[in-house]
Amino acid sequence: MKVIIEHTEETGWNVIHGDKVADRLSYDEMLGLVVAITIPDKRPCLQWLKTKEQHEAYEKYLEEIREKNTEALK
């Protein structure tokens, strides 16, 4: 379904989704509403949140790849 975003100097932002309208929104409200409407059921962006240990393990993994690539170039 289409999401329509309109802006006017007088009233701010309007978001139209199907037969529903939210008007007189601030910029932040408009962004939040558009995100809420368009975010998929599976939210892959949540995988970006990692614990400190997960970040460290990923950095170690990347360093191992860099070392292998450096060795392969010699």
> pLDDT, tens digit, for every residue of 23-38?
999 999 999 999 999 9
pLDDT tens sequence across 42-72: 888 888 999 999 999 999 999 999 999 999 9
Q: What pLDDT does residue 7 have? A: 97
Residue range 12-25, pLDDT digits in tens: 999 999 999 999 99
Long-range pairs for 29-33 at CB < 8 Å and ≥24 separation? 30/5
How far apart are alpha carbons 45 and 14 in whole angstroms? 26
Closest C-alpha to 35, from 11, 3, 7 = 3
- Residue ranges of alpha helices (H) inside 1-74 are 27-38, 52-73
Whole-model pTM over 0.85:
no
